[in-house]
Amino acid sequence: MRKILVLEGDGIGPEIVGASIQVLEAVSATFGLDLHFEFDDVGFASLEKYGTTLREELLQRSKTYDGIILGTQSHMDYPPVSEGGRNISLGFRIGLDLYANIRPARTRRALLKPGQKEMDLIIVREATEGFYPDRNMYLGGPSEMMPTPDMALSIRKITKQGSERIARKAFELAMQRRKRVTAIHKVNSFKLTDGLFLDQVAEVAKEFPEVEVDDQLVDSMTAHLVRNPGRFDVVVATNFYGDILSDLASELSGSIGLAGSMMASQTHCCAQAQHGSAPDIAGTDRANPSSMILSSAMLLDWMGHHLDDESLINASRLIEEAIDETLADPAKRTWDLGGTTGCVEFGRLVAEACTVRT
């Protein structure tokens, strides 16, 4: 039995997670995966019950599961941390050391628009340090401060360890793909921090002589993604750069609603849709669950490699194929893609495609 912790979250979270569970149950039956789902509360549901959006007990217990599915969160609407409004994603990234945020961006032929450039890349984003002030201090609070009312300062943290391990993850992925890594930086301005990052990329590259390596300034990278995204394979970046570029790449590939995402360490993995909680459409059955479904497929793939189980990897591939097959029919597309299919029905259609194929 493989145990998966399911945390539905806020906004459209329960809807897209529910559709994903339908699909996972289908592939579990098809491949005999024996997936077992255990549900618990985070976000506003947890705040109401327990006085906090993320209980420390739940975070520690999550380490005992084979995988985690985390729904969307409305963290910008949470109360201050002192009043229980804990950032859930941050809690998991730091608490489980989920340093690698893996975000694929791939065009789907059925959805290609005139003039749209084809692409198939993965952005490998470091997720535990960088410009984010809530990840930069062991003691003393966030690394943003206001010495005077009209001045705000922020500290950026880049470490040798953090840079080395995210670079290694990128090169390992590149060996499974087209064997090319592009490192993103702004070393002409951030000579020390981005310089340290690039030094570690270069060191790790020596261990992967088959992989072609280049680098791009983060600002010029935005232009290259628009002009010729097909040239990129695996893109490795520090936290802030990777966060911005992955949203751009996902939208260029078709829609951020089609963008899978996972957070992983060597021992734990959490599937999380790349987009937000969309409270304006919550409860209307208009959400596109594709991102959450694809993120769940990524979780199965990670579990398959971690547990050395080919059936989990094959189940992940089948989900990808089922999404493509479903989207190929305009009548089955969700509202954001020009169709009228609801979230629940889309999940059922993808699950059906996973059931009838072996």
Same domain, 98 and 205: no
Check which CATH number belongs to the domain holding 176 and give it.
Answer: 3.40.718.10
Q: What are residue 346's phi and psi, to 5 degrees?
A: -65, -45
* Distance, CA of 334 to CA of 289 (rounded, Å): 9
Is 332 designated active site? no
Residue 195 sits in the same domain as residue 175:
yes
pLDDT, tens digit, for every residue of 131-175? Answer: 887 777 777 777 888 999 999 999 899 999 999 999 999 999 999
- Are the C-beta atoms of 72 and 13 separated by less than 8 Å? yes
Q: Name residue, tokens 């409305």.
A: 74
pLDDT in tens, 26-80: 999 999 999 999 999 999 999 999 999 999 999 999 999 999 999 999 999 999 9
Is 97 a residue of the active site? no
pLDDT of residue 43: 97
Q: Give residue 67's pLDDT.
A: 98
Residues 201 and 268 in one domain: no
Claim to verify: residue 76 and residue 127 sit in the same structural domain? no
Query: Looking at the structure, do residues 174 and 228 belong to the same domain, yes or no?
Result: yes
Mean pLDDT of 164-188: 98
Choose the catalytic residue: 40, 120, 179, 186.
186
In whole numbers, what is the pLDDT of the chain averaged over residues? 95
Which phi and psi angles does 176 have, rounded to 5°?
A: -90, -5
* Catalytic pick among 10, 66, 233, 243: 243
Domain of 1 in residue numbering reads as: 1-112+259-358
On whether both 164 and 239 belong to a single domain, the answer is: yes
Structure tokens, 152: 């705000």
Active site residue 308: no
Q: Are 206 and 324 in a shared domain? A: no
Q: What is the pLDDT of residue 131?
A: 87
Among 253, 284, 305, give the residue marking a domain's end: 253
Domain boundary among 190, 219, 253: 253
In the set 34, 77, 134, 219, the catalytic residue is: 219
In the structure, what pLDDT confidence band is assigned to residue 14 with cuts at 50, 70 and 90? very high
Q: Do 235 and 179 fall into the same domain?
A: yes
- The verdict on 131 and 62 lying in the same domain is no
Across 74-148, where does the E strand assignment appear?
A: 100-106, 120-126, 144-148
Catalytic entry in 120, 199, 247, 285: 247
Give catalytic status of residue 247 as yes or no.
yes
Q: Tell which residue, 46, 27, 45, has the closest CA to residue 37.
A: 27
Q: Are residues 54 and 108 in the same domain?
A: yes
Reported confidence tier of residue 239, pLDDT bands at 50, 70, 90: very high
Q: Given pLDDT bands bounded at 50, 70 and 90, which one contains residue 356?
A: low
Average pLDDT over every residue of 196-221: 98
Q: Which SS3 state, helix, strand or coil, does residue 106 take?
A: strand
Global model pTM greater than 0.85 = yes
Buried b (16+ CB within 10 A) or exposed e, 118-148: ebebbbbbbbbbbbbbebbeeeeeebeeeee
Q: Do 131 and 183 sit in the same domain of this protein?
A: yes
pLDDT value of position 238: 97
* Percentage, residues of the chain above pLDDT 70: 99
Asked if 233 is an active-site residue, the reply is no
- Same domain flag for 230 and 140: yes
In the chain, the number of structural domains is 2
**Per-residue confidence (pLDDT) for residue 357, from 0 to 100:** 54
DSSP assignment of 155-185: --B--HHHHHHHHHHHHHHHHTTTSEEEEEE
Last residue of a domain, one of 225, 253, 281: 253
